[in-house]
Amino acid sequence: MTALEDFYFGNITPSEYRQKKDTKKKLSEMTNLLDELKSLLTTEQQKEKIEQIDSCQLSLIALSERDAYLEGFKLGVRMATEIYTDTQQRG
């Protein structure tokens, strides 16, 4: 089966990937710092605000990953088109 066929049949899911070791480490560090901050906050209003910030940050990360994926895909298509056009011109 070709990569395009695998993609069509759902065998390739480009939005899912394995996190690298350094990414996991930084994510764990951020989570621990956020948990520490939550434990220091005393009022419900403060805790609610930090939850809102956390939620907003997660949304921002998801949007950023989506944008990077789309730009990468567009770049790949442009490169493939350039290769195909060059091959056609050479004959």
pLDDT tens digits, one per residue of 37-78: 989 988 999 989 999 998 998 899 889 888 988 898 899 899
Say what the pTM is.
0.62
Phi/psi at 17 (nearest 5 deg)? -150, 160
Q: What's the pLDDT score for residue 15?
A: 67
**Is the C-alpha dihedral spanning 43, 45, 47, 53 positive or negative?**
negative
Q: What's the pLDDT score for residue 61?
A: 87
Structure token pair of residue 82: 């350039």
Q: What's the whole-number average pLDDT of the chain?
A: 85
Cβ–Cβ under 8 Å, residues 65 and 73: no
